[in-house]
Amino acid sequence: METKYFDDFETGETITTNGRTITEADQLNYAALSGNYDPIHLDAERMADSPFGERLVYGYLVLNVMEGQKVQTGVIEDSVIAFYGIDEARFVEPVAIGDTIHTELTVLDLEPKDEDSGVVVLEETAINQTDDAVVVAETRTLVERTP
């Protein structure tokens, strides 16, 4: 997909990313990187008896995969100035190791910042292989205006 600048986005438009399967290696690498060794994410035997029946993928890992999927579309590859933040994130369904997610990016608002940039407000929804929304986040990205 071709790079978009602030002026190219339209409120209400939706961009769909490619899918990605979250692997055991992803989970273990995230544990090592974050230092979060909570058994809910790593202890298969303990979680087998839980209401979930299996280990859960880290919510922040899913958010990071979603960010990578957004970048991989190429939409903001050459126009992004900075990630501006997350206003709200909800983990609405569990994600298991082996689940495949893709992200739907819907433009909620466009906030002009100055003559050179603006903030693109997105609702980002991670959807799993059974078409369930698993994570919903509202993000803000500072993007250049058309040169």
Alpha helix segments (H runs only) across 9-139: 24-34, 39-42, 44-48, 59-72
> Quick check: is 92 in a domain?
yes
Q: Among candidates 123, 15, 119, 19, which has minimal Cα distance to 74?
A: 15
65 assigned to some structural domain: yes
Tokens representing residue 34 in the block: 């974050």
Overall domain count for the chain: 1
In a domain, 74, yes or no: yes
| Domain of 71, in residue numbers | 6-21+57-144
Look up the CATH number of the domain holding residue 102: 3.10.129.10
Tell whether 114 is covered by a domain: yes
Q: Please indicate, yes or no, if residue 49 is contained in any of the structural domains.
A: no
C-alpha 25/C-alpha 133 separation (Å) is 23
Residue 85 lies in a domain: yes
Name the pTM for this structure: 0.93
pLDDT in tens, the chain (147 residues): 789 999 999 999 999 999 999 999 999 999 999 999 999 999 999 999 999 999 999 999 999 999 999 999 999 889 999 999 999 999 999 999 999 999 999 999 999 999 999 999 999 999 999 999 999 999 999 999 998
What's the token pair of residue 35? 């230092």
For residue 104, tell me if it sits in a domain: yes
* 127 located within any domain: yes
Q: Supply the DSSP string of 100-121, one letter for each residue.
A: EEEEEEEEEEEEEEETTEEEEE
